[in-house]
Structure 1
């Protein structure tokens, strides 16, 4: 999809909302693009096994399908969006790779342990962990953020990353990788998403600290910092707050439009494969041209 095509697609976005979180890919209008038709895999991840959390839709689905096109088998972890997860699995299998779908809550340490064990039992290996699942709730006044919301946002966005990484590490070896999803909001802030932005800042510190700890073992840890990307999280959160705001989503960045998940997938491939063999503790900013520090 070219820039002009992506802009045209963005112009098709109308006011909308979804009444549940995580949102559903199948209810988005227009649907997102996950991989360009002309994206050619070249075996960059041939023989690898990857876990992608939040892999049922959005950025997670894009990473999973790009991994499959590059030759990886992929385990898709998701909360309860069964139809979306099945679609992702079908897309992986259409690439000639094996898929595994695992439903559960990353806020649960025991579930994370069991999920990693299931993946290793199924594929007899694990090489790439993509921590991507996230939650956000719009609140424009800090005093409106309840203890439950604050703790719940951290539980999904940060604790889940920790639990899964801790369980995956015993199975990772020299050359294996961890890719975390942070956000432009970790660097620029967002007055409507204070707790979400705070968790994304914690992920930055987690990525950088862990990368230093694991560098001697040859395990690389990096992160992608998306800007406004057209995913189900948008109608399910921004749309829930103000359906009309969805129509304007992403227009405030220099490129004047939201990004498509397909525009992030190649970055996850790069950080997961040997092309980034001398890269660790770093951030790839994919945000439509916004200039941020770090």
Structure 2
């Protein structure tokens, strides 16, 4: 009579448990605050402070090099005033009230032009991006006009609007309109069609799809366009205030040029640069608040 043998695993139970525990130990990562978490926090702080050190250190180095170039007679005080002379120029402008009068005027011009041009560019970009008829009416014309440089528009705007505030606001408005329109239009048009189809599948109407899918998806592009619009409005302000200005930072620069005061000219240029930095910081803050979900991408 044939016999049957039952084949069983003869490995001892303790050996199997030890192997499983070793595999599990290799798979686990220590995420406790006293383990790798502390190292990550230290590295994050080092990157933060090193970044701010570089941001502040590079401009300081340039100012120091500027002063050294004057001390080493690489250039003259008449051609490039020293940083100390520039600070004295700020003190002079502050004491006679010119600085307090000029900055609000320039900010009002840039802000008004940005508000009008940015709002128009946003509306046109949404209209052209959502509706085919809007794209056919506006896109070709605006794509053509955006290639015209600002300086070429100055004589035309002076002819149309005169030499008063109207021509300056028109130039800043045009400068702010085009970048916001282009970025808004492209952001709306580049919305993933699969998301739109999914919205339709769930029964969303056209307005609901635009509000819940298209606009949130296009928001990063719109904010990028707003940042460009702020920068272009400041650049156009520099140009606009060179045309028959009686107030503003540009007026200070032109008046200083006529009076052979290069220190005040450079002081005015520094004001434009500081305004540009403040605008960039403001837009970074707006983007962080509006887009908290966006990942911070970097390779180092």
- With the shorter chain as reference, the TM-score category is under 0.3
* Structure with the higher fraction of residues in helix conformation: 2
Q: Could you tell me the TM-score, scaled by structure 1's length?
A: 0.26
Indicate the structure whose relative CO is greater, using CA pairs within 8 Å and at least 6 residues apart.
Answer: 1
Greater per-residue strand proportion: 1
User: Higher Cα Rg: structure 1 or 2?
Assistant: 2
